[in-house]
Amino acid sequence: MSPDEPVQELSRDECRELLKRGELGRLATAAGGESDIFPVNYYSDGDRILIRTAPGTKLLELTVHSAVAFETDGYTDDEAWSVVVHGRARQLDSQAEVDEADQAPLRPWIPTLKYRYVHIDIDALSGRRFLRLPEPER
């Protein structure tokens, strides 16, 4: 990257690595003609995304329409990045799946009971890295 080209498309492998390093993202859903976005903490091994949630709007919307978008990002003093996932979300139902999910390093950030797991299969993955530079002269 250079000041002449301050935006760089990330490779799939770079996106996967950034997903693995992240902890906080936004889950976008759409159901009944309405769209919603929810901040969530998450775990990813780079091939899938796992979130924990409680019964409510988010879980209901995922049951109605499983197509979701997920975004996570980060920044330093010099650069920023964003990774966007499109995929299908489903609640883990079998005890074997829940037992496996319990082994992931995923704990709620707030002291609430979140005992439902949602798994997002990644269909499409894209990302960009940005240099954080002053605005150019007009």
Residue 6 has pLDDT above 90, yes or no: no
Flag whether 138 is in a domain: no
For the segment 10-57, what is each residue's pLDDT rounded down to a tens digit?
999 999 999 999 999 999 998 777 888 999 999 999 899 999 988 877
Question: Which residue shows structure tokens 């002291």?
Answer: 111
Flag whether 137 is in a domain: no
CA atoms within 13 A on the CB side of 39: 6
CATH number at residue 42: 2.30.110.10
Flag whether 1 is in a domain: no
pLDDT attached to residue 27: 94
Flag whether 2 is in a domain: no
Flag whether 106 is in a domain: yes
Residue 110 has pLDDT above 90, yes or no: no
Determine the structural domain holding residue 113 and report its residue range: 7-131
Whole-number percent of the chain with pLDDT over 70: 98
State mean pLDDT over 123-128: 96
φ and ψ of 111, to 5 deg: -75, 70
pLDDT attached to residue 5: 83
Per the structure, the count of domains in the chain is 1
Pairing of strands 48-53, 116-131: antiparallel
Which pTM was predicted? 0.88
pLDDT attached to residue 51: 95
